[in-house]
Amino acid sequence: MLEATTINSNDENMRKHFRLTYPPQERPVFTMKSGHKFKIQDCSEGGLCIITQDNFPWKQVSGDLCFNKRHKIKVRGRLIRREGNLVIIKLMNHIDYSVIMAEQRFLLQNYKEFLRASS
């Protein structure tokens, strides 16, 4: 689902991003350089919401973000907050807008019912 979310950081600056929320079977995978893999609940050009099962000790991350064989990009970011089993990462290098738009088109074409139920 595409929705506006405000990401708060320790900076004075607050930014708004449109976030793509994924159905469980289509969640992108973030593979850290260390080899640890995490599913992504939602993402935007400037951030990731990572699903964790246990402790997430890293304050900075880098690795590959794979959108189920559609796109694979290198990302770097820093942890800005935790919410239960979710870790919010602010990206240092943004996901290209064209990738976000291609993902949005894919979700709209293939998961209309999920998007309706999520809104």
Write down the pLDDT at residue 119. Answer: 64
Cβ pair 38, 51 in contact under 8 A: yes
The fraction of the chain above a pLDDT of 70, given in percent, is 82
Write down the pLDDT at residue 94. Answer: 93
Q: How many CB atoms lie within 10 A of CB 46?
A: 19
The sign of the torsion formed by the CA atoms of 37, 119, 97, 47 equals negative
State both tokens at 45: 């050009």
How confident is the model over 11-31, as a mean pLDDT? 78
Please, what is the average pLDDT of the chain?
85
pTM above the 0.85 mark?
no
44-to-34, 49, 57, 93 alpha-carbon distances in Å: 23, 9, 23, 12
Over the stretch 60-106, which tens digit does the pLDDT of each residue have? 999 999 998 789 999 999 999 999 999 999 999 999 999 999 999 99
State both tokens at 39: 């599913």
Q: Is the pLDDT of residue 6 over 60?
A: no
- CATH of span 2-118: 2.40.10.220
- Among all chains, which residue has been given the structure tokens 């293939």? 110
Task: Determine the Cα–Cα distance for residues 115 and 107; give it in Å rounded to an integer.
Answer: 8
Segments making up each domain of the chain, as ranges: 2-118
